[in-house]
Amino acid sequence: MVKIGVLGLQGAVSEHVQAIESCGEEAIVIKKKEQLDEVDGLILPGGESTTMRRLLDQYDFMDKLRDFGKQEKPMFGTCAGLILLAKNIKGYDQPHIGLMDVTVERNSFGRQKESFEADLAISGVTDHFNAVFIRAPHILEAGEDVEVLAKCDGRIVAARDRHILGCSFHPELTDDHRFTQYFINMVKSTIKENSK
Tell me the pLDDT tens digit for each residue of 106-127.
876 666 666 899 999 999 999 9
> Quick one: pLDDT at residue 196?
79
User: pLDDT by residue (tens digit) across 73-108?
Assistant: 999 999 999 999 999 999 998 889 999 999 999 876
Residue 145 has φ and ψ, to the nearest 5°, of: -95, 5
pLDDT of residue 110: 62
Establish whether 167 is a catalytic residue.
no
- Domain containing residue 150: CATH number: 3.40.50.880
d(CA 116, CA 9): 25
**DSSP state at residue 106:** T
pLDDT of residue 50: 85
Mean pLDDT of 15-36: 97
Residue 172 scores a pLDDT above 80: yes
The candidate with the shortest Cα–Cα distance to 47, out of 10, 74, 102, is 10
Among 15, 25, 105, 172, the active-site one is 172
Weakest-pLDDT range from 40-49, 142-151, 178-187: 40-49
Query: What is the model's pTM?
Result: 0.95
Catalytically annotated residue among 15, 16, 25, 79: 79
Q: Tell me, yes or no, if 170 is annotated catalytic.
A: yes
Q: Minimal CA–CA distance to 117: which of 131, 135, 137, 136?
A: 131
Separation CA 79–CA 107 (nearest Å): 10
SS3 at position 78: strand
Phi, psi of 141 (to 5 degrees): -140, 145
Q: How far apart are CA 123 and CA 137, in angstroms?
A: 19
Could you tell me the residue range of the domain that residue 92 belongs to? 3-194
Residue 79 annotated among the catalytic residues of the structure: yes
Q: Is 10 exposed, middle or buried (0-12, 13-18, 19+ CB in 10 A)?
A: middle
Count how many domains the chain has: 1
The secondary structure of 20-49, three-state, reads HHHCCCEEEEECCHHHHHHCCEEEECCCCH
Q: What tens digit of pLDDT does each residue of 37-76 get?
A: 999 999 999 888 888 899 999 999 999 999 999 999 999 9
Type of residue at 24: G
- What pLDDT is recorded for position 108? 67
